[in-house]
Amino acid sequence: MKIIVFDNKIKKIRLNKFIDWLIYMVLYTLILITVSTIFKNTVYIDNSYFGLWAFLASVLIYILNKTVKPILIFLTLPITGITLGLFYPFINVIILKIVSFILNDHFNINGIFFAFLVAVLISIMNILMEVLVLNPLLSRGE
């Protein structure tokens, strides 16, 4: 997302929303597949149907981040305030555990540490994708 200022009005330039969403989903899927191959005993994703379950988990993570995460942030605001923001990454862990519960046998994360690791990797991937993929595409479009 690139921000341009015209006559004191801020205008955000974005790619097509579907293309933007699809890029995020493919990269989330790659992160989940990579983590499941590195940590075979703790992160399990069913590899049938050529990564369909990882893609479905990515879509569920995206949907839960847009719907449930704001509610969780509001409910855990006192805990996050007391811990000076250190509890905030655990909200992503809760989201991953919900996805693990929904997909049951096809996506499973054993342990809080590895759920936290996956959440951190997804956050890092978001930052890298903004800097390395989306911003160059938007600057090329000028």
Enumerate residues 6+ apart whose C-beta is below 8 A from 24: 58, 62, 126, 129
Range of the domain at 97: 2-140
Q: For 7-44, what is each residue's pLDDT tens digit?
A: 555 555 556 778 878 887 888 888 888 888 888 888 88
pTM, two decimal places: 0.76
Work out the end-to-end distance of the chain between its first and last CA atoms, rounded to an integer number of angstroms. 13
Q: What does the pLDDT look like over 31-84, one tens digit per residue? A: 888 888 888 888 888 888 878 899 999 999 989 988 999 999 999 999 989 999
Q: What's the domain count of the chain?
A: 1
